[in-house]
């Protein structure tokens, strides 16, 4: 990271970021669903995390409002035209095998471990302290800066829908979401979920369950059978490990795969899918095998829903939640599509090719695309380049969906470097401390440059 004016400007805030990140991560802000109520629409943990960031901003003298425990708004300036930053306080479940407590920040050298350090509590605080550094040094003039911290990014972005559609808040003039990769994301795949349901009578198979979020690869499958042939088939799998306990003629099996973000299922090992393939191989049920084969692809090929793009790659398909009990199968699939196709086309193809199984579709989250030479992309690229000295990297497209789709004139901007895997949505999520500190400078640079765009438009 270069020693720039912004790097010097934000240096006094580094210690505060680190200390507050530890408190922020200590809050389990997973939306478990079962504890949601009118006062805690996304669960008490999310409400607690939103209260934390609101309290921090209030104590620092910002104008703050918590909208219904769904989203916190932090404002600097009274102008109508604005630079909007969209971060989130909720996290995905801390499943899988961690080497330490997920909600306790651990430091090893330059690396911090903990759920949310990279997605998205660390980037949220980096953005916050970029704003604070500029405010404290009287460098925000002629435009408003608005930091929005939502509580439902990981399971539907209902927080931003509430803010922009129900409360009818003003749209960003320019903005970014610190919830992806550097240098800047110019395109995001469209996303929808579909639910496959069917009934199967498979003697000896009692139940299979796995997954808590549609946008994560299932890393643990729990299976109950009373026929040893299923046990032997699962033990023969070579991509996963398993544990078996026998009690009163029943076999209780746990199968361990590898978690990954649902946008890149090919990088994980889906414990449920691996188990289903093994079970289907000995179940002697053709319809069940056919459905397993349809589910067991990461690009939509099983449903004849493959589309490729020169700029965005190909579609992705992730089985994220699964249950088969009392003979009823329910599978929740997270599907992401590239430019050149549409939600209407892809959902129709999936429904048709899932037959005779029934399919219901929810969504979509629209495809996002900005030209690389647009003012927003080129300005953010300039901020990244000036602070890092990296003039080789190009704007990227990705399968992950961010808040950028929920508002006008917003793109995802950092803060994961392509040479360092932060294990988002996986055990031992991590971030480099130096990257956090560097991000404060990049975001401060970007806020001021986007503000200059606003001012220059008036001239």
d(Cα 26, Cα 20) in Å, to the nearest integer?
Answer: 10
* Residue-by-residue DSSP string for 268-297: SB-HHHHHHHHHHHHH--HHHHHHHHHHS-
Residue 2 has pLDDT above 80, yes or no: no
Q: 331-341, pLDDT tens digit by residue?
A: 999 999 999 89
pLDDT at residue number 401: 80
pLDDT (mean) for 257-277: 95
Residue 35 has pLDDT above 80, yes or no: yes
d(Cα 183, Cα 8) in Å, to the nearest integer?
Answer: 21
Share of the chain above pLDDT 90, in %: 90
Question: CA torsion sign, 317 to 321 to 326 to 328?
Answer: negative
pLDDT at residue number 50: 98
Which residues, including other chains, have CB under 8 Å from residue 333's CB and lie 6 or more apart? Answer: 193, 194, 195, 196, 214, 295, 317, 318, 319, 320
Place of tokens 């109520």: 37
The rounded Cα 328 to chain-centroid distance in angstroms is 29
pLDDT at residue number 183: 98
- The continuous run of DSSP H or E covering 362 comes out as strand 358-365
Environment class of 38 (CB within 10 Å of its CB; exposed 0-12, middle 13-18, buried 19+): exposed
Helix axes 271-283, 228-235, angle to 10 degrees: 130
- The continuous run of DSSP H or E covering 173 comes out as none
447 — pLDDT class (breaks 50, 70, 90): very high
Residue 33 has pLDDT above 90, yes or no: no
Environment class of 355 (CB within 10 Å of its CB; exposed 0-12, middle 13-18, buried 19+): exposed
425 — pLDDT class (breaks 50, 70, 90): confident
Residue 95 has pLDDT above 90, yes or no: no
pLDDT at residue number 3: 85
DSSP state of 26: T
Query: Measured in Å, how far apart are the chain's first and last C-alpha atoms?
Result: 34
User: Do 108 and 198 meet the contact criterion of CB atoms below 8 Å apart?
Assistant: no
Which residues, in sequence order, are bridge partners of residue 222?
Answer: 209, 254
Largest Cα span, the chain: 80
pLDDT (mean) for 69-73: 98
156 — pLDDT class (breaks 50, 70, 90): confident
Q: 358-415, pLDDT tens digit by residue?
A: 999 987 888 999 999 999 999 999 999 999 999 999 999 988 789 999 999 999 999 9
Environment class of 392 (CB within 10 Å of its CB; exposed 0-12, middle 13-18, buried 19+): exposed
d(Cα 437, Cα 347) in Å, to the nearest integer?
Answer: 42
pLDDT at residue number 366: 84
Residue 155 has pLDDT above 90, yes or no: no
Q: 294-342, pLDDT tens digit by residue?
A: 999 999 999 999 999 988 899 999 999 999 999 999 999 999 999 989 9
Three-state SS at 330: strand
pLDDT (mean) for 25-51: 95
pLDDT at residue number 399: 84
Task: Give the chain's count of helices (H) and strands (E).
Answer: 11, 24
d(Cα 311, Cα 317) in Å, to the nearest integer?
Answer: 18
Three-state SS at 80: coil
Kindly report the average pLDDT of the chain as a whole number: 96
Whether the predicted model's global pTM rises above the 0.85 cut: no
Pairing of strands 180-181, 415-416: parallel
d(Cα 135, Cα 32) in Å, to the nearest integer?
Answer: 36
CA distances from 112 to 105, 422, 423, 425 (A): 6, 10, 12, 15
């Amino acid at each position: 990271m270069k020693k720039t004016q912004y790097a010097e400007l934000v240096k006094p805030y580094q210690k505060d970021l680190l200390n507050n990140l530890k408190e922020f991560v200590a809050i389990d802000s997973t939306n478990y669903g079962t504890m949601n109520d009118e006062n805690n629409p996304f669960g008490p943990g999310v409400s607690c995390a939103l209260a934390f960031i609101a309290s921090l901003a209030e104590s620092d003298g910002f104008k703050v409002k918590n909208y219904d425990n769904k989203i916190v708004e932090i404002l600097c300036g009274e102008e109508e035209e604005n630079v909007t930053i969209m971060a989130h306080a909720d996290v995905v479940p801390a499943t899988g095998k961690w080497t330490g407590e997920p909600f306790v920040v651990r430091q090893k050298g330059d690396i911090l471990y903990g759920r949310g350090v990279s997605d998205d509590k660390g980037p949220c605080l980096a953005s916050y302290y970029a704003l604070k550094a500029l405010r404290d040094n009287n460098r925000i003039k002629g435009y408003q800066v608005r930091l929005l911290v939502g509580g439902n990014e990981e399971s539907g972005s209902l927080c931003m829908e509430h803010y922009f559609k129900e409360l009818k808040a003003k749209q960003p003039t320019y903005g970014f979401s610190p919830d992806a990769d550097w240098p800047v994301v110019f395109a995001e795949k469209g996303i929808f979920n579909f639910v496959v349901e069917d009934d199967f009578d498979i003697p000896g198979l009692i139940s299979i369950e796995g997954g808590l979020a549609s946008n994560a690869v299932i890393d643990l499958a729990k299976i109950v059978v009373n026929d040893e042939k299923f046990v032997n088939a699962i033990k023969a799998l070579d991509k996963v490990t398993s544990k078996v306990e026998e009690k009163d003629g029943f076999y209780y099996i746990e199968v361990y795969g590898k978690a990954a973000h649902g946008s890149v299922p090919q990088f994980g090992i889906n414990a449920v899918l691996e188990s289903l393939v093994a079970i289907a191989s000995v179940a002697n049920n053709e319809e069940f095998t056919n459905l397993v084969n349809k589910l067991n692809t990461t690009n939509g090929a099983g449903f004849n829903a493959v589309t490729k793009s020169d700029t965005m790659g190909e579609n992705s398909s992730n089985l994220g939640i699964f249950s088969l009990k009392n003979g009823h199968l329910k599978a929740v699939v997270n599907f992401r599509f590239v430019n050149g196709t549409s939600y209407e086309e892809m959902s129709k193809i999936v429904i048709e090719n899932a037959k005779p199984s029934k399919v219901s579709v929810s969504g979509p989250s629209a495809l996002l695309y900005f030209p690389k030479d647009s003012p927003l992309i080129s300005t953010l690229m300039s901020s990244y380049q000036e602070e890092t000295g990296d003039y080789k990297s190009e704007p990227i497209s990705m399968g992950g969906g961010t808040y950028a789709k929920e508002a006008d004139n917003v793109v995802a901007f950092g803060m994961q470097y392509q040479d360092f895997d932060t294990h988002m949505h996986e055990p031992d999520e991590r971030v480099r401390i130096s990257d956090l500190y560097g991000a404060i400078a990049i975001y401060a640079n970007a806020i001021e440059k986007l503000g200059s765009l606003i001012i220059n438009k008036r001239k």
